């Protein structure tokens, strides 16, 4: 089984131009996925609560806050393989991202329910609490993601791994931010977009797991 994983992983690497390391492509894709989740939640809130500028601004701020917190706590998983850590992280992100729109809608339903009983404040706390927590968690997981990618970059002998990974992360965020209004929104509902992005995260999680298996086999052989 491990030999199969090694063969698949090596073929994926061989299919890419040698000038573009696998970790570089993964970094761009993951950054695009993360910013898409943030935009999905912000757009859902805008549709349900109006004030588009406010919710987009708050969502961006919470996303960045989450990334900062994630970077601080990333040392907690420094002892595990970065590929394994990345795989589990992407699984968590895919689950959270797939449920993101539903969580915001559930919060709005609870807001409507409590408002009927004259408890509008409680409803608001639940609605905004669920939405903001979702964005914060996406940012947190994305913040843990970056140090893992930098470690992988060092293992892959990437030139200037820290600055390169950070630069690619910003590029990926730009790609996601452009694709959201130009490609995704005109064609798909928000729930569908969330599921598409979640599937992309799962595919990258599988790739990370394969790379981890191949790395273990290579280490044992040598």
Its pTM stands at: 0.85
Q: Mark the ranges of the chain whose per-residue pLDDT is less than 50.
A: 1-6, 8-19, 217-222
Q: At what angle do helices 82-116 and 120-155 cross, to 10 degrees?
A: 170
Q: Domain range spanning residue 132?
A: 2-12+21-216
221, part of any domain: no
64, part of any domain: yes
Q: Give the C-alpha separation, 193 to 37, whole Å.
A: 9
DSSP 183: I
Q: Give the C-alpha separation, 98 to 173, whole Å.
A: 19
Which tens digit of pLDDT belongs to each residue from 105-164? 999 999 999 988 888 899 999 999 999 999 999 999 999 999 999 999 888 777 788 889
171, part of any domain: yes
63, part of any domain: yes
For residue 145, give the CATH number of its domain. 1.20.1250
117, part of any domain: yes
134, part of any domain: yes
Q: Give the C-alpha separation, 137 to 192, whole Å.
A: 20
Q: What is the DSSP string of 137-164?
A: HHHHHHHHHHHHHHHHHHHTT-SSHHHH
Burial classification of residue 43, based on how many CB atoms lie within 10 Å of its CB (0-12 exposed, 13-18 middle, 19 or more buried): buried
Domain count, the chain: 1
């Amino acid at each position: 089984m491990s030999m199969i994983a090694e063969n698949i992983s090596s073929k994926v690497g061989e299919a890419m131009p040698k000038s573009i390391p696998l970790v570089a492509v993964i970094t761009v894709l993951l950054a695009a996925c993360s910013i898409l989740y943030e935009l999905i939640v912000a757009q859902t809130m805008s549709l349900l609560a109006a004030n588009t500028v406010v919710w987009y601004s708050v969502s961006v701020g919470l996303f960045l806050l989450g990334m900062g917190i994630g970077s601080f706590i990333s040392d907690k998983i420094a002892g595990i393989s970065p590929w394994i850590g990345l795989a589990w992280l992407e699984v968590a992100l895919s689950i959270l991202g797939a449920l993101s729109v539903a969580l915001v809608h559930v919060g709005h339903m609870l807001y409507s329910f409590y408002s009927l009983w004259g408890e509008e404040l409680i409803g608001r706390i639940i609605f905004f609490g669920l939405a903001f927590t979702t964005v914060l968690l996406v940012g947190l997981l994305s913040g843990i993601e970056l140090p893992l990618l930098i470690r992988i970059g060092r293992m892959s002998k990437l030139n200037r791994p820290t600055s390169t990974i950070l630069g690619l992360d910003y590029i990926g965020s730009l790609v996601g931010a452009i694709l959201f209004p130009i490609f995704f929104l005109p064609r798909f509902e928000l729930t569908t977009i969330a599921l598409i992005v979640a599937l992309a995260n799962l595919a990258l999680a599988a790739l990370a797991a394969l790379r981890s298996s191949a790395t273990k086999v290579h280490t044992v052989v040598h």
